[in-house]
Structure 1
Amino acid sequence: MNISQIFENISQLLYIRGDKSYRVQSYQRVADIIGQLTHSIEAENEISYLSEMLETGQLRTIKGIGDSAISVITDLLQKGTSNLYEELKLEVGTEVLELLKVRGIGIKMATQLYRHAKIHSLSDLRLALSSNRLKEIKGLGTRKIQSIETSLNYLEIVKNLRPLGIIRPIADRIVSKLKGQPGVEKIEITGEVRRGEEMVSQLELLLIGSPDNVARVLKDHLKDQVINATNISGTINQFPVVIHFTNLTSMAWDWIVTTGPEDHVQQLSIPGSDLSTEREIYLLSGLPYIAPELRRTTEFANPIEDKLPHLVELTDIRSDLHMHTNWSDGLNTIQEMVNQAKSLGYSHISITDHSKSSVVANGLDPNRLRKQIEEVRIVNNRTDGITVLAGSEVDILKNGDLDYDDELLAELDIVIASIHSNFELSESQMTQRIIRAIENPFTMMIGHPTGRLLGSRPGYAFDLPAILDVAADCEVALEINASINRLDLEPDSVILAKQKGVQLSVNTDAHSLPDLQQMKWGITVARRGWLEPSDIINTLTLDQFFDWKNGRQQSLE
């Protein structure tokens, strides 16, 4: 149960129902407060954490959490729901909140659709699109309707999928819980999760052991259990889980088969005798060992036919060049982010808060940025063992200009140019917008290049090959954003970028201390994109990084 999300739902449902704005805002404020309080808490520990804060009276001391909010929190913690939430679900319905996942539909438009067009759900929206009823809605022109339809198409495709960064930790917890249990000899993660797919349809494990013992150990975690001789199926948080059973002699082959995908497995020779490792099975097929992330054939790469790369490892990464602090929309101070990055073994990092046009993210105007640069220099001078660079994630404006003037950009160690608005431009307009930003001599990297949000927003349309050609000419890197909600670029685009000679940069885009741990998800994408350490600027030493930076600037002069 996500308490912060429930308060946000209540706020949005109150708005749609037509309640007073102060009441709507008060519940949204509580949602934000609880979200910040629990940001670094594991989901399974959220209830106990908030319960303790409630019992000790700490929640009551927080500005913005009044008596009505305390009452709702108490009900949620004790009963799993509240009278107000149940009232709103009955009166308004929660399906209408799904409309807010559609690009181009904010709370005001969702309310208009709900009240005046009787569109209460995504299925209602699909019917309205099919019958051309959206043209009758004030404020919806042809381009906006096209954007809504594109977004809805995406949501329908990913409806039953979940991001890897959400499901893999669940898999790790199950493995940890089962290891060492009586009747469990060996357990491995398999399937889409093992391959590192960005969005997965189910969680699969391969296990040597007793189905009955496994079912007993997981009885409080795995719901709707169905047990048979070869597997146990069920759900965790309403997400499908399948536990396959095997034996020691078949383990290696079964691991390959369950890892998949099927078209890859079909290209291998089925072992005539029992082989104990995957490597032996690949050798039998006349192949080197193929890492799980590469077990897919794409338009650009075939692991069966092509020379395999020496894939990048998490341990190759020396820097994280994209992160935010409480100067903009992050939760922690510069010093706190630096200390955490140092504990992760990085040699250098870059502080890259938002620029002035990102008003919703508390972006820095020129005066604040100059003050932050001074603060970064101070923190760098007083912190041994790591170098702190002053940077900025600078908005790419609608016409392709950057959000700061050249004089200010010249003061920064690193400039990441990113799009945060005007997603509905045509493909040609968006392509020219990004190209113009790349051609700015101060741009060193394009952040989260497609703008996608996994499970909620598709990337905007642009001509990727054309952009990669310009990026290669201008020696501008493209980011693999490691945030579990982005993983942007996606692997096929990464392969194409590498083939065109474009450097990549894997960064967490961290907004808090725990977010700095997300580098591993970006490395998974990099591996699926056939990247080697030399393809990624984060593997450079600090001196090598400045050689790269200075070299590209000289080549552009």
Structure 2
Amino acid sequence: MENFQISRLLDETAFWLEIAGESPFAVRAYATAATTVNRSDLEIAELVLSHQPYSLPGIGKTLSSQIEECVLHGRITFLDDLRKRFPESLRSLLKVPGIGAKLIRLFYEQLGITTLPLLKENCLNGEIQKLPGFGEKRVQKLLEAIAFAEAQQGKYRITPIEDEARALSSFLSSLPCVLRFKITGKLRRFSNVYEKLVFVVLGSDIGQIKAALEETFAGISQSGCVPEKFSFRTAPGMLCEVYVTEDQACWVPLLIETTGSAQHVAALKQLSASKGLLWQSSVLKDAQGHPFNFEKEEAFYALLGIPYCEPVIRENVYLPVVSDTPELLNLGDLKGLVHCHSQWSDGAHSLESMALACRDLGYTYMLITDHSQSSKIANGLEPDRIAAQHQEIDALNRRLTGIRVLKGIESDIRKDGSLDYDEAILRTFDWVIASVHNGLDLDKTEATRRLIRAMENPFTSAIGHPSGRHLLTRPGYELDMEKITDAAVTNKVALEINASPKRFDLDWRHLKDAAHKGARFIISPDAHRITGFQNVRYGVQLARKGCLSSDHILNCLPPEEFMAWQKKP
């Protein structure tokens, strides 16, 4: 069991304690313990299983014993007992932006609200307005938040989708009757969120594949069409569609049909028809009805007379032509990792551990950007701690070879657009990423003005996670992206492509237009632990989806040129 899994159970315990009306001290103790465990660089499960002593700040005997129970048995008895006292559905209300355990308790105790539909019903029938503090405007905002939560139902971030994809890939690999298979759908062309998993299988016996699926998964449905489609849900409830064919001639057309968006596939079919080709039942045939037997998708696109279209950009009606076929970014183009958090703020690992891990991955520099002083909850850095951190960085750079640690900060943008350090402090950094972490309720005009003013600060190097969204749990604030892009270009400020799976911000839909205007970008993992470095692969996919090349990405530059972007007066 990993630290984040232990942390989730402790956090859930804090939730149920709040619902039960227990003392704020008890609630805070579990919530703090959850944060401590999640940020710890100790592998707690390994220590427990090997009977090695360990200590975590603020965690006493009771919590320690529950953590050990969690590691050894995968559960906490105290939490199980709390769960039995209340409807499980109360937890689902946390999906509504702006609602926490205290409000859920109020709704439950006063109105018996246990589900999202009941919450919506009580908003519409006026019952919520009878509660103290809930006037017409607040109820309207609550209804908007409920609508957002409803729209996210049945959707997943990339991490659970990838987990299920690996499990299903392992299952298909074990079947002798499966000759080859590929993940397609949104996961192959990369997306922000996902509704289902899609696989294409070339097999020697559809009947055997069907029998294996029915033996492993419940509720299998069969399309009865050619090619055959089997639909089912995995144990976590995720929808999967598996297309199976025994015909090699179906393989490539079926990959293309299930990978591209509906608009992209329709454009390809229109193009094939204009050339006198027949595309039917996932087989492409010539005018005489003879099927083409493609081995690779490149040959399919070549037959249609257009360059190969990478899966990641098969969106809308886009069909590539020679004149605008982009040289898309590759992971190996990145030379440095930027936007990383250490133990100095809310990260799990030391500067040295992160620097060495960064070097081991082949990068030549790491921009450390711990949280700034306004982020109290994230242990943000006061000026005296900044000086101490910079001394440690200087010492590391003298001692380590093959990696350079750059002095950065993720400075909070206040509501008025100013940064939360004065000029004397900002001048000490190699790079400043300015980000919004609070005051997310501004309208489009105010939110846009706020970011533009931050970009006008002569020490701002980049704007972090520009929209502020959390996928599936919090919508981003509205921005005038045309004005934001113009200000970024004018003020020589980079826009961040934040690769954290909960953000994917800036959205890929804005990248191509911004690049055409001359905007530059950074791809960041927003890493709070060493494993978070791997997030950059998502950022590369986002950049590719926005048709960006290495020329657009600043951390493809060597460290000296990257640092030169900091426009200190």
Whether TM exceeds 0.5 here: the answer is yes
**For residue 292 of structure 1, what is the aligned residue in structure 2?**
311
Distance 1:334 1:68, change over 3 A: closer
**For residue 267 of structure 1, what is the aligned residue in structure 2?**
267
Distance 1:406 1:218, change over 3 A: farther
**Counterpart of 2:411 in 1: which secondary structure?**
strand
Counterpart-to-counterpart distance in 2, 1:128 and 1:304: 54
Residue 120 (structure 1) aligned with residue 139 (structure 2): no
Distance 1:93 1:542, change over 3 A: same
The one of 394, 404, 428 aligned to 1:377? 394
Structure 2: stretches of 5+ with no match in the other structure: 273-278, 286-290
Counterpart-to-counterpart distance in 1, 2:435 and 2:113: 34
**For residue 45 of structure 1, what is the aligned residue in structure 2?**
none
Larger CA deviation: 24-33 vs 531-540: 24-33
Larger CA deviation: 242-251 vs 88-97: 88-97
**Counterpart of 2:180 in 1: which secondary structure?**
strand
**For residue 10 of structure 1, what is the aligned residue in structure 2?**
13
Distance 1:533 1:438, change over 3 A: same
**Counterpart of 1:31 in 2: which secondary structure?**
helix
Counterpart-to-counterpart distance in 1, 2:333 and 2:402: 18
**For residue 449 of structure 1, what is the aligned residue in structure 2?**
466
**Counterpart of 1:162 in 2: which secondary structure?**
coil
Deviation, structure 1 residue 465: 1.5
Distance 1:173 1:87, change over 3 A: closer
* Residues 150-299 of structure 1 mapped to structure 2, 5 A cutoff: 150-176=144-170, 178-179=172-173, 181-209=175-203, 210-211=205-206, 222=217, 224-226=219-221, 230-236=228-234, 237-246=236-245, 247-268=247-268, 269=272, 270=279, 271-272=284-285, 273-274=291-292, 275-297=294-316
The one of 413, 416, 433 aligned to 1:396? 413
**Counterpart of 2:248 in 1: which secondary structure?**
coil
Deviation, structure 1 residue 65: 5.8
Deviation, structure 1 residue 248: 2.3
Deviation, structure 1 residue 467: 1.4
Counterpart-to-counterpart distance in 2, 1:4 and 1:227: 40
The one of 384, 390, 394 aligned to 1:367? 384
Counterpart-to-counterpart distance in 1, 2:62 and 2:214: 38
Counterpart-to-counterpart distance in 2, 1:131 and 1:354: 43
Distance 1:380 1:278, change over 3 A: same
Deviation, structure 1 residue 91: 2.8
Please tell me whether the aligned partners of residues 508 and 542 of structure 2 are also in contact (alpha carbons under 8 angstroms).
yes
**Counterpart of 1:200 in 2: which secondary structure?**
coil
Q: How many residues align?
A: 540
Counterpart-to-counterpart distance in 1, 2:332 and 2:163: 20
**For residue 91 of structure 2, what is the aligned residue in structure 1?**
97
Counterpart-to-counterpart distance in 1, 2:398 and 2:320: 47
Q: Residue type of the partner of 2:252?
A: A
Residue 25 (structure 1) aligned with residue 44 (structure 2): no
Q: Residue type of the partner of 1:185?
A: L
CA deviation profile, 1:242-300 (whole Å, cap 9, x unmatched): 222123222111100111322211212232122222112212222111111111127xx
Structure 1: stretches of 5+ with no match in the other structure: 42-48
Counterpart-to-counterpart distance in 1, 2:219 and 2:42: 30
**For residue 535 of structure 1, what is the aligned residue in structure 2?**
552
Counterpart-to-counterpart distance in 2, 1:227 and 1:77: 41
Deviation, structure 1 residue 92: 2.2
Deviation, structure 1 residue 523: 1.0
Counterpart-to-counterpart distance in 2, 1:485 and 1:93: 27
Counterpart-to-counterpart distance in 1, 2:259 and 2:231: 17
**Counterpart of 1:351 in 2: which secondary structure?**
strand
Distance 1:350 1:146, change over 3 A: farther
**Counterpart of 2:339 in 1: which secondary structure?**
coil
**Counterpart of 2:529 in 1: which secondary structure?**
coil
TM-score by length of 1: 0.88
Distance 1:248 1:469, change over 3 A: same
Identity over aligned pairs, percent: 31
**For residue 276 of structure 2, what is the aligned residue in structure 1?**
none
The one of 414, 420, 435 aligned to 2:431? 414
Q: Residue type of the partner of 1:368?
A: R
TM-score by length of 2: 0.86
Deviation, structure 1 residue 494: 1.6
Deviation, structure 1 residue 61: 6.7
**For residue 288 of structure 2, what is the aligned residue in structure 1?**
none
Counterpart-to-counterpart distance in 2, 1:3 and 1:211: 42
Counterpart-to-counterpart distance in 1, 2:70 and 2:8: 15
**For residue 346 of structure 1, what is the aligned residue in structure 2?**
363
Deviation, structure 1 residue 133: 4.2
